Amino acid sequence: MVTRAAVVAASPAGRRWDLAIGDWIVGLPPTSGPVAAVLAAERRPEFAAQASAGSIAGVVAPRVQAATLKLARAA
């Protein structure tokens, strides 16, 4: 239930405050933790570890995009 609430809250929070806030909410352990647990149970722990690393990279990418957009607007 917490996972669903966090994912649903991320989009409006990102629109209202900043993309980084939405990214931060989605990257919280209650959101990404259950996914990693399911992957570890269905596949293998190494696969879950690689998927978690990809999840972290996915949180960083929109922040870089948002920073680039801010710089472009400031110019």
Residue-wise pLDDT for 2-57, tens only, equals 667 767 777 777 777 777 777 667 666 666 777 788 888 999 889 888 888 887 78
Compute and round to an integer the Cα radius of gyration of the chain.
14
Q: Give the Cα separation of 16 and 19 in Å (integer).
A: 9
Q: Could you tell me which of 55, 54, 50 has the C-alpha nearest to residue 23?
A: 55
Q: Is pLDDT above 80 for 62?
A: no
What's residue 63's pLDDT? Answer: 78
Taking the model in full, what pTM does it have?
0.50
